[in-house]
A and B are shown apart, each in its own frame.
Chain A
């Protein structure tokens, strides 16, 4: 499992790419956990780029958002649905 720590505020796609830059290019068979306990707000674009970077571009097995605000969870579900990867997104 790879773990990433989300800061308090995240807004741009650029920040999603920065946050995931340390991950391997191929995440097949890897679970990525994003610790969102400090996160207070995020934009739809940031969340979409995070889902894309982990589950689409790198083929991660699962993306877990731990302790994310309700709004971020809603945005993540929407993004994962749009990209056809909702079955690999875990929130809670």
Chain B
């Protein structure tokens, strides 16, 4: 498949870090100057790697110069994806002792069926229970379950899905959690096209967050993504949906859609305050 795109993740710190060199057939990730990579972005990296490898490209990863960021990537188990897809790494991910951070980290994980999706949703619950308000943990469980199910049932992702999460500023009043689920499947537009016809990526996202819009013609379908949006918004959180060449950011008060470099598949992330309303 011909590729003539330059991809960049949502995080401004990662914009420009990802590129394709068609002449040499190499997809490159240059994180040399990155000082922070969040859980959403690490899922984005995994999707980029899986997508490029699926396109038959060699993937080259330049690690961050900052040793703390390198250690964090290692701690988030990016190395498992690097190994699985044969990524050439300049330098090496450090081997680090994994002290118990079970309440603050959910390392990058891959799943490829409903059992895997169920397991991850339960894993999210078990890891976060007690670490945030009950309604937040419940919302994250629902979000992970529904988004994982979307990957399994609708995405047609040959590499399955990826999930990661992290709690930030743990123990501080402003602490928050980011959870992200991504895939390298057909994307929302293509998933909806057989039933709803041609549309832009932006229109497809707009449709997908409406209740009862689904690839499957069944009256109870189409609750996953709108439920995530409603739940996260209700807790004053943020939802990011990236598919095709658009990225939509949704908060309680506004929705903004921007054009981005085309990325295979879909990445959905949510940021939630651990103690909303306090």
How many residues on A have C-beta within 8 angstroms of the other chain's C-beta atoms?
20
Contact of A41 with B138 in the complex, beta carbons under 8 Å = yes
Complex alpha-carbon distance, A12 and B122, angstroms:
11
**Interface-forming stretch among A27-35, A43-51, A59-67?**
A43-51
Chain B binding surface, main DSSP class: helix
Assess whether A88 is interfacial by the CB under 8 Å rule: no
A71 CB contacts on chain B under 8 angstroms: 138
Assess whether B224 is interfacial by the CB under 8 Å rule: yes
B266 CB contacts on chain A under 8 angstroms: none
Which residue of chain A has the shortest Cβ distance to B223 in the bound complex?
A: A44
Partner of B220, one of A11, A40, A49: A49
> Shortest distance in angstroms between B150's beta carbon and chain A's nearest beta carbon?
9
Contact of A43 with B146 in the complex, beta carbons under 8 Å = yes
Partner of A11, one of B121, B212, B221, B223: B121
Contact of A43 with B212 in the complex, beta carbons under 8 Å = no
Which residue of chain B has the shortest Cβ distance to A49 in the bound complex?
A: B220
Assess whether B117 is interfacial by the CB under 8 Å rule: yes
A45 and B212 contact, Cβ closer than 8 Å, known pairs A14-B115, A52-B220, A79-B220: no
How many residues on B have C-beta within 8 angstroms of the other chain's C-beta atoms?
26
B-contact 0/1 string along A59-89, CB 8 Å cutoff: 0000000000001000000010011000000
Contact of A11 with B138 in the complex, beta carbons under 8 Å = no
> Shortest distance in angstroms between A50's beta carbon and chain B's nearest beta carbon?
10
Assess whether B162 is interfacial by the CB under 8 Å rule: no
A9 and B121 contact, Cβ closer than 8 Å, known pairs A41-B141, A44-B146, A45-B145: yes
Complex alpha-carbon distance, A13 and B113, angstroms:
12
- Contacts A12-B149, A83-B220 aside, 7 further interface pairs with beta carbons under 8 A come to A9-B122, A14-B118, A41-B125, A41-B141, A43-B227, A45-B146, A82-B220
A-B contact pairs, 21 of them (CB 8 A): A11-B121, A11-B122, A11-B142, A11-B146, A11-B148, A12-B117, A12-B121, A13-B153, A15-B114, A41-B125, A43-B121, A43-B141, A43-B142, A43-B145, A43-B146, A43-B227, A44-B223, A45-B145, A48-B220, A82-B212, A82-B220
